[in-house]
Amino acid sequence: MNRPPLLIAGNWKMNKNIRETREFLNQLLNSLKTPLTCEVAIFPPFTSLPAAAEILKNTPIRYGAQNLHWKESGAFTGEIAPVFIAEIGCHYCIVGHSERRRLFGETDEICNLKVKAAQHHRLRPILCCGETLEEQRQNETFNVLHNQLEKGLKDVTIPDFDLAYEPVWAIGTGQNATPEQAEKVHRWIRDWLRNKFADYSLQVRILYGGSVKPENAHQLIAQPDVDGLLIGGASLEVNTFVAIVNSCQR
């Protein structure tokens, strides 16, 4: 079974207005080496998704949402229904980013609802998982991941999703896992997926996210079980993001 192409994803978080989004994407399209040998996706704020949809139409670059609600509609002030995201042409949606878990109290059970809602609307969720510094120091990494994956993917029978391992201790800190550390965790996740989905587990990409920059991107992506990158701060500057993407093309 053929594995899908590498996925290089830029998560802008709460950054870039509509004008800045347009400027970035136009520069990106003019700067990337083509044809692309990896998949590139951008995750702008909700307000910039229409601009992204317009500019990226008929291009190889995909776009997605940073979050979604699991309900179709209702009295959920400030939330975004999956049907709204699908309607605007999003291909992906991030679920369970560590900032959503830490700042907004998202649980594994909530992530599970979001994963299934995304799949129902033919969005491909990217479920994030990862341990804190304290959990890492206590050698709890694999126990934490096991719980997050078991609960976050409960009753998910179709491997139409991707995962992002984001060690919380490496996000926005300047620290990062070595390529060998990342591969060790990614290999464990691959084995977990294989136990659940057998050969179809290879259709699930496991991205690494945690202080990715041009200097370490190629070494990370060279690991056999690192199938892509979820990039935060380094995706906000177009030349930096292009350097990462170009270094990952095979």
Which residues belong to the annotated binding site for substrate?
A: 11-13, 172, 211, 232-233
Query: What 3-state class would DSSP assign to 98?
Result: helix
Active-site annotation holder among 39, 166, 183, 186: 166
From residue 8, how far is each of 1, 93, 177 by CA, in Å? Answer: 21, 14, 18
Quick check: is 99 catalytic?
A: no
Quick check: is 166 catalytic?
A: yes
Q: Provide the annotated binding site.
A: 11-13, 172, 211, 232-233
The token pair at 26 is 């136009």
Structure letter (DSSP) for residue 198: G
Other Cβ atoms closer than 10 A to 248: 21
- Please state, in angstroms and rounded to a whole number, the distance separating the CA atoms of residues 131 and 129: 7
Q: At what angle do helices 214-221 and 179-197 cross, to 10 degrees?
A: 40
Active-site annotation holder among 39, 69, 97, 183: 97
| Residues with a known catalytic role | 97, 166
